[in-house]
Structure 1
Amino acid sequence: MAKTISNETQDEAMKVAKATQKPGQTKEQTKLIALGVEKGIAEFKKQHKSKARDRDKARKQDIKSKMRANADSDNEVIEPEDKPSVQRLPWGLLIISWIGFIAFSFMK
């Protein structure tokens, strides 16, 4: 499983290795430390991507379950008790307005 490590990661690893370099440390030792840091960074990125995928899957499942719950609630039957009161309101307003119109016209 020989994956190539990006130049950015290699540069970052070399900076970390040089920053922690001890006096008298050879270039070869610094390169070995940089390789270890590269592997650590690569492993961290791999774990981070895996966790991000898992979070994304969980988020998508939550969205799907909420959509299913909403679809189920939309399919529920509305109770007949609610419909007559809603239908009476426009007719009641119409009748009241006509009574008001007739009363106004008789007042003249």
Structure 2
Amino acid sequence: MAKSASSETQQQAMRVAKATQKPGQTKEQTKLIATGIEKGIAEYKKQQKVKARERDKHRKQQLKQKHHVSDELELEHDELPTPQFTAVAKILLLLLIGSWCAIGYLLTQG
């Protein structure tokens, strides 16, 4: 079932048809021209709606992609390993504790 154009579109089409009317043109011919213009306007509006939907889809995809990237960065940040003592660090820590014990012992004996 064909959807009829809005009265605003019909009026606009009729204004354009009358503005381009040739001398000796009948009312029927003008109405036919107005109908053609009306269909053109309707087609243009359809195309604009399709373009708007595509822009909206693209915008949503970009937002989703940005959100996905930020989620990945958060996961990477959360998954950072906790620092663990290596063998060298353990040896250095033992040497430090030992030297403090030795200094403490020498100060109490002195």
TM-score scaled by structure 2?
A: 0.69
CA RMSD of aligned residues (A): 1.5
2:68 maps to a residue whose letter is R
2:72 aligns to what? Answer: 72
2:57 maps to a residue whose letter is K
Segments of 4+ in structure 1 off by > 6 A?
Answer: none
Unaligned runs of 5+ in 2: 84-110
Structure 1 residues 51-85: Cα deviation after superposition (integer angstroms, max 9, x where no partner): 1001100100100000000110111135768xxxx
Unaligned runs of 5+ in 1: 82-108
2:36 aligns to what? Answer: 36
Name the count of aligned residue pairs. 81
- In structure 2, how many angstroms separate the alpha carbons of the residues matched to 1:79 and 1:16? 72
2:58 aligns to what? Answer: 58
Report % sequence identity.
63
Local SS of the residue matching 1:25? coil
Local SS of the residue matching 2:3? coil
Task: Choose 1 or 2 for highest CA Rg.
Answer: 2
